[in-house]
Structure 1
Amino acid sequence: MGRLAVVSNNPRFISLLLIFTLPPMTLMSFLAAGSYIYIDGFGLSEQTFSYAFAFNAFFASFDPSIYIKLSNRVKVSNIISVCYFILMLIGILTYNIGHLSPWLFACLAAPATLMVIVTRVPGINLMLEQQTSDTGSAVAVIQFCSMMAGAIGMTLVTLHPDNLIHSLGIIQFSIGALASIMWFKAKNRAYVVDHLTTP
């Protein structure tokens, strides 16, 4: 517990923790609401729902390799900025047109998942670079905060069960906007620039 306190008292680590552990809230919100949206909302069978969900998982499986290829051609800071902007845009689209078709909804949910996982790769690297020791404690704090953010997202998305798609869109936009603002303030700081390298 003492080592966790040491990690938590590192302001550089905490500032990045706030930025990079919020986006998983959108992914966990989707996981919590997805089955109800597809089956109860769109009327899909359990079998068809599994195909739609597999489509999302298929996208997610390529996320790390996509990040690695992109980071060889594009500045990592720009990748993160664009991912958060796209997450905001997806939130707007989900809120306004996500209800029109289950496959349209799936085509919005998949890139939202992509944005979250792509930013997680450089995010964890950056956070761990702020700790010269206590790496295990740092990882524990990162995982705990990510799971707590996810739990909050799962709770928020179900507050209005009759409007799950709208709730999901609001969460995606809000988290994308909040992460964008915090990232904009942090991305040019020395402790970020010095460690923001390609994998």
Structure 2
Amino acid sequence: MSSEKVQPRMGNVGFIIFLALLSAFVPLSTDLYLPALPTMTTFFNVSEITMNLTLILFFVFYSVATLIWGPLSDRYGRRSILLIGLTIYMLAGILCGVATSAFEIILFRVLQAIGGGVATTIATAVIKDVYTGRKQETTLAIVQSMVVISPALAPVLGSLLLTFISWRGIFFTQALLGLIVVLGAVIFQETHDTSKESISVLHSLGRLGALMKNPPFSAMLINFSAVSIISLSFISSSSYIFQVHFGLSSQAFSYFFAFNAIGMLIGPLLYIRLSKYIDRMVILYACFFLGIIGGILILGFGLNNPYLFAITELPATLASSASRPPATYLILKQQENDNGSASSLYSAGGTIMGSIGMVVVSFANHWPVLIIAIIDIVINVLCAIGLYVTLRGLRNQIKV
């Protein structure tokens, strides 16, 4: 679909905002209630690792759900699948708000993940449906720069809400967000023509395997998905690092977290500016190098002070967010069809890798900051080497 056929009911700006809201479902589903995690742990009288299951299992089931929603949207269209998933998310948010045990809230978070998995997948697929080339890459960057505002605002909003309501109100707020996006999906016009689709659902799901057999696509997918280990390990452990390890209040935590989220906001915007003059591959290698430097700075200065930790973690945060637009573009560039399936694999890959990071830091109760520094260094080194090997080994197949 050409860029002239954008949503007439929404307009160009409204369309971008709608895509940003869809893409923001994961950070809003996690960061909004991060300040409440210690309180919820005490309320249900469970361990930190038990309550962290509300995060870990969310990402696990979210990644599985994305693998299903994407192929289904290729078969039945983006709009109908979007409405089903968003409705599930909204209802699950209400159930989380009325949960009476840790088991219930973990279960309802899983349901919330299954519904929310539709959002990011469809948003990425729609961008590829509508835009091509440089316009596609810049739109991805714009949407992602708007998305990362949510990690900056969500903990602050969550802490503010906790001064007036209990942690239950946080989940009712998520349900309200779900309702707003459902209304947006109602006026959203289909971007994928399914009139020529006659294959079965199982065949649609089978396209996932076909894409993974494409060496350039699978190599890029694995390499760039690993970057999510950096961001999600920090996000999942940040409330415990600042509130438990450093002894700060939930309100103070939200400000420290917002500071690092500035890097998430600046990263994609910086990429848009730099990519006009510098090759995207050079920028990607620079991002990996900057992340390594950030990890080293944490080891040298940020282990025992919340201010120094926030400052030294900023380079890794900035680098990982700046690498997302070119990484997404390069992954999707390796295939021309099956936009929903490709988006599913990209969303799932990042979420699975990020969940690994979350599990690792969950067991690092006594040295969480040290683990964050090691992750920043190791993952960026591996990604830089992986990208170099991929470009060299598949130089005749890779599309850049």
Length-normalised TM-score, structure 1? 0.92
1:183 corresponds to which of 378, 383, 387:
387
User: What's the counterpart of residue 324 of structure 2?
Assistant: 120
**What is the CA deviation profile of residues 160-189 of structure 1, one whole-angstrom value per residue up to 9, with x for unaligned ones?**
210001111111111011001111223452
Equivalent pairs counted in the alignment come to 194
Which region of structure 1 is more displaced relative to structure 2, 21-30 or 69-78? 69-78
Q: SS at 2:277's partner residue? A: coil
| Equivalent-residue separation in structure 2 for 1:27 and 1:127 (angstroms) | 19
Aligned AA (1:140):
S
Q: Which moved more, 1:89-98 or 1:68-77?
A: 89-98
Answer yes or no: is the 8 Å Cα contact 1:157–1:171 preserved in 2: no
Contiguous gaps of at least 5 residues in structure 1 = none
What is the CA–CA distance in structure 2 between the aligned matches of 1:157 and 1:91, rounded to whole Å? 15
Distance in 2 (CA, whole Å) between partners of 1:48 and 1:153 is: 24
- Per the alignment, do residues 86 and 106 of structure 1 end up closer, same or farther by CA in structure 2, a change over 3 Å counting? same
Match of 1:28 in 2: 232
Which stretch shifts more, 27-36 or 53-62? 53-62
Whether 1:149 aligns to 2:346 is no
Q: Following superposition of structure 1 onto structure 2, how do residues 10-89 of structure 1 map, counting pairs within 5 Å?
A: 10-89=214-293
Q: Are positions 1:101 and 2:305 aligned together?
A: yes
Check the 8 A contact 1:95/1:168 in 2, yes or no: no
2:367 is paired with a residue whose SS is: helix
Distance 1:190 1:126 in 2: 15
Q: Quote the Cα distance in structure 2 between the aligned partners of 1:191 and 1:84.
A: 23
Query: Root-mean-square deviation (CA), in Å?
Result: 1.4
Answer yes or no: is the 8 Å Cα contact 2:263–2:321 preserved in 1: no
CA distance in 2, matches of 1:104, 1:74: 31
CA distance in 2, matches of 1:101, 1:110: 14
AA partner of residue 128 (structure 1): L
C-alpha distance in 1 between matches for 2:250 and 2:378: 31
Query: Which amino acid in the other structure matches residue 327 of structure 2?
Result: G
The percent identity for this pair of structures is 35
Query: RCO higher in 1 or 2 (8 Å CA, sep ≥ 6)?
Result: 1
Alpha-carbon shift at residue 135 of structure 1 (Å) = 1.4
- Which deviates the most, 169-178 or 106-115? 106-115
Alpha-carbon offset, residue 16 of structure 1 = 0.5
Shift of 1:96: 3.2
